[in-house]
Amino acid sequence: MQRGFFITLEGLDGSGKTTQIKRLAAWMEKRHLPPTVTRQPGGTTTGDRIRPLLLDSRSTGLAPMTEMALMFADRAQTIAEVIQPALDAGKIVLCDRFTDSTEAYQGGGRELGSEIVLELHRLICGNLTPDLTLLLLPSLESSLDRARRRNERHNEQTGQDEGRFEQEQDAFYRRVWEKYREIARREPDRVILIGGNLGIDEVHEQIVEAVAEVLLTARKNG
């Protein structure tokens, strides 16, 4: 059986990833390509227990190394339980965040550097690399404003607090934003950068164009 196809969506909180992954999944389903959809942190029973530790603003005092270790613990479980089985079954996997997020947030934002993140990815994740990464990178100011407003609504509606990262200073997010751009420059064959303050429909059009092209290429090569 041919290996499946692994697609990740990346970007700052407030970049529109959640909306776009839902629209991309619906687009695939209409074309009889139902994907396996997951997210990080979360997506498994274990991951859903780790997620509040990482995102709840009451989780104060987490050392950067602890934060990164929790991210990789969640990721290893998702790979073992969700991603690898789906790929082995020949399915398309859509994942909201993967190791690029850890490189950007912990490597860049927490200033741990890329080297340790990539080495842990090799050791813990078997160096599993997405076939395609869609990096949504609107302006820093736009992303932060949307993320903070969204988390306020989420907290009001569900009582769940996932705003720990949004409490960081703008300098932290500038480092994250710049690290994402560095990753895109380093891996242009994998990472499709969708920048600018585009509308939801405009972003969706660029995403489906990129996905359709790489899936077609993969089928030809397969």
194: left (phi over 0), alpha (psi -120 to 50) or beta: beta
Tally of structural domains, the chain: 1
CATH code, domain with 53 = 3.40.50.300
Residue 70 and residue 106 in contact, taking contact as beta carbons nearer than 8 Å: no
Q: What is the pLDDT of residue 1?
A: 47
Peptide bond just before 41 cis, omega within 30 deg: yes
- Its pTM stands at 0.91
Residue range(s) defining the domain that contains residue 171? 5-221
75's tokens: 């990721």
Per-residue pLDDT tens for 86-133? 999 999 999 999 999 999 999 999 999 999 999 999 999 999 999 999
Find residue 10's DSSP bridge partners. 135
Residue 121 and residue 62 in contact, taking contact as beta carbons nearer than 8 Å: no
Per-residue pLDDT tens for 43-97? 999 999 999 999 988 888 899 999 999 999 999 999 999 999 999 999 999 999 9
Q: What is the pLDDT of residue 130?
A: 97
pLDDT grade for 148, boundaries at 50, 70 and 90: low
181 has pLDDT over 90: yes
